[in-house]
Structure 1
Amino acid sequence: MGWVGGVGVEGRQVGAIGEVLEVALEGGMGVWLRGGWAMDFHLGEVTRPHLDVDWYCWRDDVDRLSAALLGRGWRVDPRVPVDTQLDLLRDDVELSFAYLARDASGRVVVGGGPWAGTPLPEGMLDGPPGRIGELTAPIISVAAQIEFKEMYPIWMPQRPRRSKDVADIARLRAAATRPVGATGPAAPPPHPG
């Protein structure tokens, strides 16, 4: 079944998210949204425009995932080395899959590129799924989302903190007391007395 996401690039991106989830489910492959779409699925609404759809996938699954999506009309972005991550294009939608692996002790680590083997945040893949409308998707944990957005300028000094990351961190922190996918203001903390 093909996913229909709505109008404009946002709708096509949501449709692509549904398509990736369908392919992953059919192939028994794990995928997790990361970046801005992970935040939006946690919040239960689209908060801003997105340039692409960022994912994590297991390095061991990338050949099967790539073949399945290429069979659906996606093409490899030649600007990004496939040994670092898999970037796919179709019309005006870009999918970016960063690789995951496990080290000898079973920890989730970066699965490709110059940081291969670097441990990723504990529990990153253990959070509840997110939801926008009728579409539910695995997302990286909110704690990992915040850590990445806070640490990117430190890990990569050539990449200064972006205003959208500052806004995203504030949204994620404000939503920490809300259930996944709940919209509206956060519930007040319980009264201490």
Structure 2
Amino acid sequence: MGEPSLELTPQTAALAGAADALDSAGLEHWFFGGWAVDLWVGRVTRAHEDIDVLVQRADEAGVDAALTAAGWVHTPRDDDLVGTEYAGDGYALQLTFVETDDQGRVVVPVPGQPIVLSTGPLDHVRRPLGHLRVRVLTLEKMLEGKGVPRPDDAGGEKDRADLAALRAVAATM
């Protein structure tokens, strides 16, 4: 039995387009958040406000070139702190920048409080989406990231639902 694959819909086509653009340009990236949960589960588990992806800050110009060539429009906001946003076909692509610090850790460079994502290189796996295999954070990293729900009601509810869905996948492996 093969792994479950998300079907291509207008929503997942936007994710596939971004993934294909970044892959074709040879850029490291890692999908995370709700869509990565869905890629692990193999079905859409809930509505999504955006598509979350981690990219290397050092690749910012290459990411911009790849996404722009694929039809995404850069829509930065004044309050962008550790990433930026693109829009395409009515969907938001939320980029979060990561860097490797002097200790070899992969961090989200929040000023004064970098968030450590990994103590070494950030691993990924490829999950099926239509004809593509999309780079997502490992199941272990996804479980770790969703393990502490956000403090707000809406975000915390999503995190708890995502964690339950991921645990169900982990139980079958």
User: Same-fold call, TM > 0.5?
Assistant: yes
Answer yes or no: is the 8 Å Cα contact 2:104–2:119 preserved in 1. Answer: no
* More strand as a share of residues: 2
CA-based RMSD of the aligned residues comes to 2.5
Q: Map 1:1-193 to 2 at 5 A.
A: 6=8, 11-79=9-77, 81=79, 84-110=82-108, 112-114=109-111, 117-122=114-119, 125-153=122-150, 157=151, 159-160=152-153, 161-179=155-173
Deviations 1:54-81 (A, max 9, x none): 0001111111111221233322224354
Answer yes or no: is the 8 Å Cα contact 1:12–1:93 preserved in 2. Answer: no
Alignment-mate amino acid for residue 45 of structure 1: R
Secondary structure of the structure 2 residue equivalent to 1:129: strand
After superposing the two structures, state which structure 1 stretch, 168-177 or 126-135, moved more: 126-135
Answer yes or no: is the 8 Å Cα contact 1:31–1:58 preserved in 2. Answer: yes
After superposing the two structures, state which structure 1 stretch, 76-85 or 13-22, moved more: 76-85
Answer yes or no: is the 8 Å Cα contact 1:73–1:90 preserved in 2. Answer: yes
Could you tell me how far apart the structure 1 residues matched to 2:17 and 2:43 are? Answer: 19
Alignment-mate amino acid for residue 61 of structure 1: D
TM-score (norm 2): 0.81
Instruction: Return 5+ residue gaps in structure 2 as ranges.
Output: 1-6
Identity %: 31
Instruction: Return 5+ residue gaps in structure 1 as ranges.
Output: 180-193
Q: What is the total number of aligned residue pairs between the two structures?
A: 166
Secondary structure of the structure 1 residue equivalent to 2:95: strand
After superposing the two structures, state which structure 1 stretch, 123-132 or 39-48, moved more: 123-132
TM-score (norm 1): 0.73
Secondary structure of the structure 2 residue equivalent to 1:168: helix
Could you tell me how far apart the structure 2 residues matched to 1:61 and 1:163 are? Answer: 33
Secondary structure of the structure 2 residue equivalent to 1:173: helix
Could you tell me how far apart the structure 1 residues matched to 2:144 and 2:119 are? Answer: 11
After superposing the two structures, state which structure 1 stretch, 101-110 or 114-123, moved more: 114-123
Deviations 1:78-118 (A, max 9, x none): 435455202101241000110111011211111x4436643
Answer yes or no: is the 8 Å Cα contact 1:52–1:96 preserved in 2. Answer: yes
Answer yes or no: is the 8 Å Cα contact 2:107–2:115 preserved in 1. Answer: yes
